[in-house]
Amino acid sequence: MIDIKFLRENPEVVKENIRKKYQDEKLPLVDEVIALDTESRKAKQEADDLRASRNRISKEIGALMGQGKKEEAEAKKAEVAAGAKRLAELEASETELQEKITKIMMVIPNIIDESVPIGKDDSQNVEIEKFGEPIVPDFEVPYHADILDRLNGLDKESAGRTSGNGFYYLMGDAARIHSAMISYARDFMIDKGFTYCIPPFMIRSSVVNGVMSFAEMEAMMYKIEGEDLYLIGTSEHSMIGKFKGQIVDEKSLPITMTSYSPCFRKEVGSHGIEERGVYRVHQFEKQEMVVLCKPEDSMDWYNKMWSYTVEFFRSLDVPVRTLECCSGDLADLKVKSCDVEAWSPRQKKYFEVGSCSTLGDAQARRLGIRTKGENGTYLVHTLNNTVLASPRGLIAFLENNVNEDGSVNIPVALRPYMGGKEKVLPKK
């Protein structure tokens, strides 16, 4: 959510930003919110004048009563009573106007960084850099569900009976590799100086509304029936929510955290062959990184954060690339974002395994997260990035480390978490 003062002073900048995001239907909202803001400030000024008048008249009443001028004092009291009625009307109007303004401001997109490429949708995202050679072996790489099947590692049939489509059981060595990757991702980030955290896996609507758009919430999140609670779609939500309404010590910035959580997403729609495997599922596990920092440091942290994900996957012998998200592919709160994509030797193309974003002060403004320094109080900047989301990360690992005989190589970095194993063997 952008600053109302900025919108008031730069309406054409806000409109041009909306056009860059191909959301022209939102253009009228800028003029609408300006009109409401003008009305709100007018009501506030009148209310402030009435309060000042009430205080002045109250003093006059006291003086008149002290002088025995009861009739004049009563006339003044009548004047205060009339003003009180109007003041109540103005206060109610202020509240209503502010609610309307906030509702509109919540859907006006954040100002994107000038470096973001302009494009309508994800088909116009821009490749930045490749890391590692995208190798296609001289044997046909099986579909990941078949790799898991040869390890006796995947049971979707039973999950269908217990939970329905989009759920799974991971078994044996496959489950162990999955957990090893999560544990390695945790320690990888701790070694980068991040504080490890396990957050709540459910959050209130006030936090949800602070960290994402309404459209994203409806498409992604599961609500707990009868409760003001939602299952998290990513631990970033509860990690940022941890600081809701807080003034953090400027000396503590940057705050760098890495969090583990299960994640739950609706993933509405049919996804073809992917439904046979575990690429697009309703439940997965994730190691996330979250940073709160000074505004002037946010772009430096953005570049550090995505580079950590690249380094992590390269240590597991997975080639990756970074892809700059274009304007039309950015969620409304994001200032800049890039995806980290892993190489799929089976599909001979890259697929997303993580996303890094800086949101400027948008989340901080919604949630009231501030810091206080020598120059006063100001909003912090927030950033988030995926270290590892598995089983999607597991798919990338398996495809790039499977052998023709169905065995899977264990890279050096992962062996301490696999009991020293250099390879896991197929069971069938």
pLDDT tens column, 339-386? 999 999 999 999 999 999 999 999 999 999 999 988 899 999 999 999
Percent of the chain with pLDDT over 90: 79
Q: Which amino acid is at 207?
A: V
Q: Looking at residues 217-239, what average pLDDT do you find?
A: 91
Asked whether 230 and 263 are in contact (CB, 8 A), the reply is: no
Model confidence at 188: pLDDT above 70: yes
Q: In sequence order, what are the residues at sequence separation of 6 or more whose Cβ sits closer than 8 angstroms to the Cβ of residue 408? A: 147, 151, 173, 177, 398, 401, 402, 423, 424
Model confidence at 390: pLDDT above 80: yes
Helix (H) or strand (E) holding 192: none
Model confidence at 109: pLDDT above 60: yes
Binding site residues, as ranges?
A: 234, 265-267, 281-284, 288, 352-355, 384
Q: How confident is the model at residue 65 (pLDDT cuts 50, 70, 90)?
A: confident
Bridge partners (DSSP) listed for residue 260? 287
Model confidence at 64: pLDDT above 70: no
- CA distances, 410 to each of 9, 197, 406 (Å): 57, 27, 13
pLDDT (0 to 100) of residue 374 = 85
pLDDT (0 to 100) of residue 267 = 76
- CA distances, 81 to each of 48, 71, 85 (Å): 16, 15, 6
| The two three-digit tokens of residue 56, written as one number | 């002045």
With CA atoms as reference, report the closest residue to 392 among 123, 181, 150, 149: 181
Phi, psi of 153 (to 5 degrees): -110, -5
C-alpha 300 chain-centroid distance:
19
Model confidence at 19: pLDDT above 90: yes
Q: Looking at residues 79-92, what average pLDDT do you find?
A: 80
Q: How far apart are CA 162 and CA 168, in angstroms?
A: 10
List % helix, strand, coil for the chain (3-state, nearest 5): 50, 20, 30
Mean pLDDT of the chain: 92
Residue for token digits 């390269």?
Answer: 314
| The two three-digit tokens of residue 227, written as one number | 């409760």
pLDDT (0 to 100) of residue 275 = 58
Q: How confident is the model at residue 81 (pLDDT cuts 50, 70, 90)?
A: confident
Residues in the chain: 428
Asked whether 30 and 14 are in contact (CB, 8 A), the reply is: yes
pLDDT tens column, 258-317? 999 999 998 765 455 555 789 889 999 999 999 999 999 999 999 999 999 999 999 999
70-74, 100-104, 340-344, 383-387, range with the lowest pLDDT: 70-74
Binding site residues for ATP, as ranges?
A: 265-267, 281-284, 352-355
pLDDT (0 to 100) of residue 77 = 72
pLDDT (0 to 100) of residue 194 = 98
Model confidence at 35: pLDDT above 70: yes
pLDDT (0 to 100) of residue 272 = 52
Model confidence at 428: pLDDT above 80: no
Q: How far apart are CA 353 and CA 389, in angstroms?
A: 7
Binding site residues for L-serine, as ranges?
A: 234, 265, 288, 384
- Identify which has the larger pLDDT, 276 or 395: 395
pLDDT (0 to 100) of residue 217 = 76
Q: Looking at residues 127-151, what average pLDDT do you find?
A: 95
pLDDT (0 to 100) of residue 298 = 97
DSSP code of residue 141? P
pLDDT (0 to 100) of residue 236 = 93
pLDDT tens column, 318-328? 999 999 999 99
Percent of the chain with pLDDT over 70: 97
Q: Looking at residues 147-167, what average pLDDT do you find?
A: 93
Residue 348, number of CB atoms within 10 A of its CB: 10
pLDDT (0 to 100) of residue 49 = 85
47-51, 127-131, 176-180, range with the lowest pLDDT: 47-51
User: Residue 254: is the preceding peptide bond cis (ω within 30°)?
Assistant: yes
